Amino acid sequence: MTQHMPVIISSENGRGGMLAAMHLLREGGSALDAVEIACRYVEDDPTDHSVGYGGLPNVLGDVELDASIMDGRTLSAGAVAAVMGYGRAIRLARQVMEQTPHVLLAARGAERLAAELGESPQDQRTDEALARWRERFTERSVDLDEQVPLRAIAAQLTQPLNLQDKLYKAGRVDTLGTVNFIARDQQGNLASAVSTSGIGWKYPGRVGDSPLIGAGNYCDNRYGAAGCTGMGELAIRVSTARSLVLYLKMGMSLLDAGLEALRDLQVLDARTGQYMNIVAMTPDGAHAGFTTVAGKQYLYMTGAMNAPQLAERTLLPG
Protein backbone atom coordinates (compact mmCIF):
# COMPACT_ATOMS: atom_id res chain seq x y z
CA MET A 1 0.00 0.00 0.00
CA THR A 2 1.25 3.51 -0.80
CA GLN A 3 2.63 5.29 2.22
CA HIS A 4 1.72 8.98 2.26
CA MET A 5 3.73 11.82 3.77
CA PRO A 6 1.92 12.93 6.94
CA VAL A 7 0.82 16.56 6.93
CA ILE A 8 -0.91 18.69 9.54
CA ILE A 9 -2.12 22.29 9.44
CA SER A 10 -3.66 24.49 12.11
CA SER A 11 -4.60 27.95 13.24
CA GLU A 12 -1.68 30.02 14.58
CA ASN A 13 -2.19 28.86 18.18
CA GLY A 14 -1.76 25.17 17.33
CA ARG A 15 2.04 24.81 17.56
CA GLY A 16 2.29 22.60 20.67
CA GLY A 17 -0.58 20.39 19.58
CA MET A 18 0.89 20.07 16.12
CA LEU A 19 4.19 18.70 17.43
CA ALA A 20 2.38 16.08 19.53
CA ALA A 21 0.19 15.13 16.57
CA MET A 22 3.11 14.86 14.15
CA HIS A 23 4.90 12.50 16.52
CA LEU A 24 1.85 10.24 16.37
CA LEU A 25 1.48 10.53 12.59
CA ARG A 26 5.14 9.59 12.07
CA GLU A 27 4.56 6.46 14.14
CA GLY A 28 1.74 5.51 11.76
CA GLY A 29 -1.11 6.85 13.92
CA SER A 30 -4.40 7.88 12.37
CA ALA A 31 -5.31 11.39 11.28
CA LEU A 32 -8.34 11.14 13.57
CA ASP A 33 -6.22 10.41 16.65
CA ALA A 34 -3.74 13.10 15.57
CA VAL A 35 -6.29 15.92 15.39
CA GLU A 36 -7.86 14.87 18.69
CA ILE A 37 -4.51 14.81 20.49
CA ALA A 38 -3.55 18.15 18.96
CA CYS A 39 -6.76 19.80 20.17
CA ARG A 40 -6.44 18.25 23.62
CA TYR A 41 -2.98 19.74 23.98
CA VAL A 42 -4.33 23.24 23.36
CA GLU A 43 -7.45 22.63 25.46
CA ASP A 44 -5.25 21.71 28.45
CA ASP A 45 -3.08 24.83 28.06
CA PRO A 46 -4.31 27.46 30.56
CA THR A 47 -2.47 30.23 28.70
CA ASP A 48 -4.66 29.82 25.61
CA HIS A 49 -7.72 31.90 26.45
CA SER A 50 -9.76 30.82 23.47
CA VAL A 51 -9.94 27.07 23.99
CA GLY A 52 -10.67 24.58 26.80
CA TYR A 53 -9.32 25.13 30.31
CA GLY A 54 -8.76 28.84 30.88
CA GLY A 55 -11.01 29.83 27.97
CA LEU A 56 -12.68 33.22 28.14
CA PRO A 57 -15.99 33.11 30.05
CA ASN A 58 -19.39 34.16 28.78
CA VAL A 59 -21.03 37.36 30.04
CA LEU A 60 -21.99 35.65 33.33
CA GLY A 61 -18.44 34.44 33.95
CA ASP A 62 -19.02 30.79 32.97
CA VAL A 63 -16.79 28.99 30.46
CA GLU A 64 -18.89 27.25 27.79
CA LEU A 65 -17.03 25.10 25.27
CA ASP A 66 -17.80 24.03 21.68
CA ALA A 67 -15.94 21.41 19.62
CA SER A 68 -16.27 19.07 16.66
CA ILE A 69 -14.32 16.30 14.97
CA MET A 70 -14.81 14.73 11.53
CA ASP A 71 -13.39 11.59 9.94
CA GLY A 72 -12.79 12.09 6.21
CA ARG A 73 -12.75 8.33 5.59
CA THR A 74 -16.35 7.71 6.67
CA LEU A 75 -17.81 11.25 6.99
CA SER A 76 -18.55 10.36 10.62
CA ALA A 77 -18.71 13.40 12.84
CA GLY A 78 -19.24 14.30 16.48
CA ALA A 79 -19.72 17.61 18.24
CA VAL A 80 -20.60 19.24 21.54
CA ALA A 81 -21.87 22.74 22.20
CA ALA A 82 -22.11 25.02 25.25
CA VAL A 83 -20.53 22.42 27.56
CA MET A 84 -19.70 23.56 31.09
CA GLY A 85 -17.52 21.85 33.68
CA TYR A 86 -15.56 19.57 31.32
CA GLY A 87 -12.42 20.82 29.57
CA ARG A 88 -11.65 18.30 26.86
CA ALA A 89 -14.51 19.20 24.58
CA ILE A 90 -12.84 17.50 21.63
CA ARG A 91 -12.70 14.17 23.46
CA LEU A 92 -16.36 14.52 24.24
CA ALA A 93 -17.10 15.35 20.58
CA ARG A 94 -15.33 12.16 19.57
CA GLN A 95 -17.35 10.20 22.13
CA VAL A 96 -20.56 11.62 20.65
CA MET A 97 -19.36 10.32 17.27
CA GLU A 98 -18.34 6.89 18.52
CA GLN A 99 -20.69 6.14 21.44
CA THR A 100 -24.01 7.65 20.35
CA PRO A 101 -26.15 7.62 17.20
CA HIS A 102 -26.00 11.43 17.18
CA VAL A 103 -23.71 14.10 15.74
CA LEU A 104 -24.22 17.00 18.16
CA LEU A 105 -25.02 17.08 21.87
CA ALA A 106 -25.51 20.41 23.65
CA ALA A 107 -25.11 21.65 27.21
CA ARG A 108 -26.85 19.38 29.76
CA GLY A 109 -26.90 16.39 27.44
CA ALA A 110 -23.20 16.65 26.61
CA GLU A 111 -22.38 17.09 30.30
CA ARG A 112 -24.46 14.05 31.16
CA LEU A 113 -22.60 11.99 28.56
CA ALA A 114 -19.28 13.16 29.98
CA ALA A 115 -20.30 12.04 33.47
CA GLU A 116 -21.63 8.74 32.13
CA LEU A 117 -18.29 8.08 30.43
CA GLY A 118 -16.41 8.70 33.67
CA GLU A 119 -14.92 12.09 32.81
CA SER A 120 -14.00 14.12 35.90
CA PRO A 121 -15.77 17.46 36.15
CA GLN A 122 -13.42 20.41 36.55
CA ASP A 123 -14.00 24.16 36.85
CA GLN A 124 -12.66 25.55 33.58
CA ARG A 125 -12.21 29.10 34.92
CA THR A 126 -8.66 30.15 35.70
CA ASP A 127 -7.87 33.19 37.85
CA GLU A 128 -6.23 34.80 34.83
CA ALA A 129 -9.23 34.33 32.55
CA LEU A 130 -11.61 35.57 35.25
CA ALA A 131 -9.42 38.63 35.82
CA ARG A 132 -9.58 39.35 32.08
CA TRP A 133 -13.34 38.82 32.13
CA ARG A 134 -13.73 41.40 34.94
CA GLU A 135 -11.29 43.84 33.34
CA ARG A 136 -13.51 44.21 30.29
CA PHE A 137 -16.46 45.33 32.39
CA THR A 138 -14.24 48.11 33.73
CA GLU A 139 -12.84 49.03 30.30
CA ARG A 140 -16.34 49.36 28.88
CA SER A 141 -17.86 50.93 32.04
CA VAL A 142 -20.46 48.16 32.25
CA ASP A 143 -21.95 46.44 35.32
CA LEU A 144 -23.93 43.23 35.61
CA ASP A 145 -27.07 45.11 36.55
CA GLU A 146 -30.35 43.23 36.84
CA GLN A 147 -32.23 46.29 35.53
CA VAL A 148 -30.39 46.07 32.20
CA PRO A 149 -31.25 43.12 29.94
CA LEU A 150 -28.38 40.65 29.75
CA ARG A 151 -28.52 40.80 25.95
CA ALA A 152 -27.66 44.49 26.07
CA ILE A 153 -24.73 43.89 28.40
CA ALA A 154 -23.39 41.01 26.27
CA ALA A 155 -23.80 43.10 23.12
CA GLN A 156 -21.77 45.91 24.62
CA LEU A 157 -19.00 43.64 25.84
CA THR A 158 -18.71 41.66 22.59
CA GLN A 159 -19.22 44.61 20.29
CA PRO A 160 -17.00 44.73 17.21
CA LEU A 161 -13.48 45.75 17.94
CA ASN A 162 -12.19 49.13 17.06
CA LEU A 163 -9.06 48.31 15.11
CA GLN A 164 -7.60 51.71 16.01
CA ASP A 165 -7.98 50.92 19.70
CA LYS A 166 -4.59 50.91 21.43
CA LEU A 167 -5.61 47.86 23.46
CA TYR A 168 -6.54 45.98 20.30
CA LYS A 169 -3.20 46.84 18.74
CA ALA A 170 -1.51 45.44 21.83
CA GLY A 171 -3.50 42.24 21.25
CA ARG A 172 -5.48 42.62 24.48
CA VAL A 173 -9.11 43.07 23.56
CA ASP A 174 -9.73 40.32 21.07
CA THR A 175 -12.85 38.39 22.03
CA LEU A 176 -12.39 35.73 19.34
CA GLY A 177 -10.27 32.62 19.35
CA THR A 178 -10.43 28.97 18.35
CA VAL A 179 -7.99 26.22 17.45
CA ASN A 180 -8.41 23.95 14.46
CA PHE A 181 -6.36 21.13 12.94
CA ILE A 182 -6.54 19.17 9.70
CA ALA A 183 -4.28 16.13 9.31
CA ARG A 184 -3.42 13.58 6.64
CA ASP A 185 -1.96 10.29 7.88
CA GLN A 186 0.33 7.75 6.20
CA GLN A 187 -2.71 5.88 4.87
CA GLY A 188 -3.84 9.05 3.12
CA ASN A 189 -6.86 9.56 5.39
CA LEU A 190 -7.92 13.06 6.38
CA ALA A 191 -9.46 14.22 9.67
CA SER A 192 -10.33 17.62 11.09
CA ALA A 193 -11.02 18.98 14.57
CA VAL A 194 -12.01 22.35 16.02
CA SER A 195 -12.26 23.46 19.65
CA THR A 196 -13.15 26.78 21.23
CA SER A 197 -14.60 28.63 24.20
CA GLY A 198 -16.37 30.79 21.62
CA ILE A 199 -16.68 34.55 21.85
CA GLY A 200 -15.62 35.95 25.22
CA TRP A 201 -18.50 37.67 27.08
CA LYS A 202 -21.04 35.96 24.78
CA TYR A 203 -24.68 35.54 25.77
CA PRO A 204 -25.10 32.24 27.67
CA GLY A 205 -25.92 29.40 25.30
CA ARG A 206 -24.48 31.12 22.25
CA VAL A 207 -23.12 28.45 19.89
CA GLY A 208 -20.58 29.31 17.20
CA ASP A 209 -19.50 27.63 13.99
CA SER A 210 -16.97 25.27 15.56
CA PRO A 211 -19.38 22.49 16.58
CA LEU A 212 -21.54 22.88 13.47
CA ILE A 213 -20.45 20.40 10.82
CA GLY A 214 -20.45 22.26 7.52
CA ALA A 215 -20.01 25.70 9.09
CA GLY A 216 -16.71 25.58 11.02
CA ASN A 217 -15.53 22.07 10.16
CA TYR A 218 -15.82 19.69 7.22
CA CYS A 219 -13.72 16.76 6.02
CA ASP A 220 -14.07 14.34 3.12
CA ASN A 221 -11.17 12.09 2.02
CA ARG A 222 -12.29 12.35 -1.59
CA TYR A 223 -12.11 16.12 -1.96
CA GLY A 224 -10.48 17.73 1.06
CA ALA A 225 -11.11 19.38 4.39
CA ALA A 226 -11.65 22.89 5.73
CA GLY A 227 -11.85 24.48 9.17
CA CYS A 228 -12.67 28.00 10.34
CA THR A 229 -11.61 30.39 13.08
CA GLY A 230 -13.02 33.84 13.63
CA MET A 231 -16.54 35.16 14.03
CA GLY A 232 -18.65 32.01 13.93
CA GLU A 233 -21.84 33.85 13.02
CA LEU A 234 -20.30 34.53 9.59
CA ALA A 235 -19.31 30.93 8.80
CA ILE A 236 -22.68 29.63 10.02
CA ARG A 237 -24.59 31.88 7.61
CA VAL A 238 -22.75 30.71 4.48
CA SER A 239 -21.66 27.18 5.53
CA THR A 240 -18.04 28.08 4.93
CA ALA A 241 -16.24 24.78 5.58
CA ARG A 242 -18.61 22.58 3.58
CA SER A 243 -18.82 25.17 0.79
CA LEU A 244 -15.07 25.18 0.32
CA VAL A 245 -15.00 21.37 0.14
CA LEU A 246 -17.97 21.42 -2.25
CA TYR A 247 -16.10 23.86 -4.50
CA LEU A 248 -13.22 21.35 -4.54
CA LYS A 249 -15.69 18.60 -5.43
CA MET A 250 -16.96 20.72 -8.31
CA GLY A 251 -13.43 20.78 -9.73
CA MET A 252 -12.00 24.09 -8.48
CA SER A 253 -8.34 24.33 -7.47
CA LEU A 254 -7.61 24.77 -3.75
CA LEU A 255 -6.85 28.46 -4.34
CA ASP A 256 -10.06 29.07 -6.29
CA ALA A 257 -12.18 27.13 -3.79
CA GLY A 258 -10.78 29.21 -0.92
CA LEU A 259 -11.31 32.48 -2.78
CA GLU A 260 -14.90 31.47 -3.58
CA ALA A 261 -15.52 30.75 0.12
CA LEU A 262 -14.16 34.24 0.88
CA ARG A 263 -16.51 35.73 -1.73
CA ASP A 264 -19.43 34.01 0.03
CA LEU A 265 -18.38 35.74 3.26
CA GLN A 266 -17.88 39.10 1.52
CA VAL A 267 -21.62 39.57 0.93
CA LEU A 268 -22.33 39.45 4.68
CA ASP A 269 -22.65 42.62 6.72
CA ALA A 270 -19.49 41.89 8.70
CA ARG A 271 -18.42 44.83 10.82
CA THR A 272 -14.98 45.90 11.89
CA GLY A 273 -13.32 43.16 13.88
CA GLN A 274 -15.64 40.43 12.57
CA TYR A 275 -13.15 38.43 10.58
CA MET A 276 -13.08 34.87 9.30
CA ASN A 277 -10.07 32.62 8.69
CA ILE A 278 -10.08 29.29 6.89
CA VAL A 279 -7.50 26.51 6.64
CA ALA A 280 -7.90 23.84 4.00
CA MET A 281 -6.19 20.70 2.73
CA THR A 282 -6.68 18.51 -0.33
CA PRO A 283 -6.23 14.71 -0.39
CA ASP A 284 -2.71 15.09 -1.87
CA GLY A 285 -1.65 16.99 1.26
CA ALA A 286 -1.58 20.42 -0.43
CA HIS A 287 -2.76 23.11 1.98
CA ALA A 288 -3.69 26.78 2.14
CA GLY A 289 -5.05 29.41 4.48
CA PHE A 290 -7.56 32.12 3.63
CA THR A 291 -8.73 35.18 5.54
CA THR A 292 -11.00 38.20 5.30
CA VAL A 293 -8.43 40.49 6.98
CA ALA A 294 -4.78 41.18 6.23
CA GLY A 295 -1.89 39.83 8.25
CA LYS A 296 -3.25 36.45 9.33
CA GLN A 297 -1.16 33.29 9.15
CA TYR A 298 -1.54 29.54 9.70
CA LEU A 299 0.81 26.75 10.71
CA TYR A 300 1.82 23.68 8.72
CA MET A 301 4.16 20.76 9.23
CA THR A 302 4.96 17.68 7.15
CA GLY A 303 6.65 14.48 8.28
CA ALA A 304 9.85 15.77 6.65
CA MET A 305 10.00 18.94 8.78
CA ASN A 306 11.54 19.43 12.24
CA ALA A 307 9.15 22.17 13.34
CA PRO A 308 5.90 23.83 12.30
CA GLN A 309 6.22 26.76 9.90
CA LEU A 310 4.00 29.80 9.52
CA ALA A 311 2.48 30.60 6.12
CA GLU A 312 0.49 33.64 5.00
CA ARG A 313 -3.24 33.29 4.51
CA THR A 314 -4.61 34.45 1.17
CA LEU A 315 -6.92 37.48 0.97
CA LEU A 316 -9.41 38.19 -1.79
CA PRO A 317 -7.58 40.33 -4.36
CA GLY A 318 -8.50 43.99 -4.64
C-alpha 49 chain-centroid distance: 13
Listed in sequence order, the residues at least 6 apart from 152 whose beta carbon sits closer than 8 Å to its beta carbon are none
| CB of residue 230 to ligand GLY, shortest distance in Å | 6
Query: H or E segment at 291?
Result: strand 287-291
Q: Decide: is 210 part of the binding site for ligand GLY (CB under 6 A).
A: yes
Q: Which is nearer to ligand GLY, 6 or 227 (CB)?
A: 227
Contact stretch for ligand GLY (CB under 6 A) within 92-100, 110-118, 202-210, 249-257:
202-210
Q: Decide: is 232 part of the binding site for ligand GLY (CB under 6 A).
A: yes
Contact stretch for ligand GLY (CB under 6 A) within 41-49, 165-173, 192-200, 297-305:
192-200
| CB of residue 236 to ligand GLY, shortest distance in Å | 8
Site string for ligand GLY, 142-181 (x = CB under 6 A): ------------------------------------x---
Rounded Cα gap, residues 76 and 39, in angstroms: 18
Q: Decide: is 229 part of the binding site for ligand GLY (CB under 6 A).
A: yes
Tell me which residue of 3, 75, 7 sits closest to 223, measured CA to CA: 75
| CB of residue 287 to ligand GLY, shortest distance in Å | 19
Calculated CA dihedral for residues 34, 38, 43, 46, nearest 10 degrees? 150
The DSSP secondary structure of 221-285, one letter per residue, reads: TTTEEEEEEE-HHHHHHHTHHHHHHHHHHTT--HHHHHHHHHHHHHTS---TT--EEEEEE-TTS
**Options 175, 178, 282, 291, the catalytic residue:** 178
Burial of 120 (0-12, 13-18, 19+ CB in 10 A): exposed
| CB of residue 234 to ligand GLY, shortest distance in Å | 8
Rounded Cα gap, residues 282 and 223, in angstroms: 6
| CB of residue 318 to ligand GLY, shortest distance in Å | 26
Q: Decide: is 208 part of the binding site for ligand GLY (CB under 6 A).
A: yes
Q: Decide: is 110 part of the binding site for ligand GLY (CB under 6 A).
A: no
Let me know if 178 is a catalytic residue: yes
Backbone angles phi, psi at 137, to 5 degrees: -60, -45
14 DSSP assignment: G
Which member of 31, 231, 259, 261 binds ligand GLY (CB under 6 A)?
A: 231
Q: Decide: is 230 part of the binding site for ligand GLY (CB under 6 A).
A: yes
Q: Which residues are catalytic?
A: 178
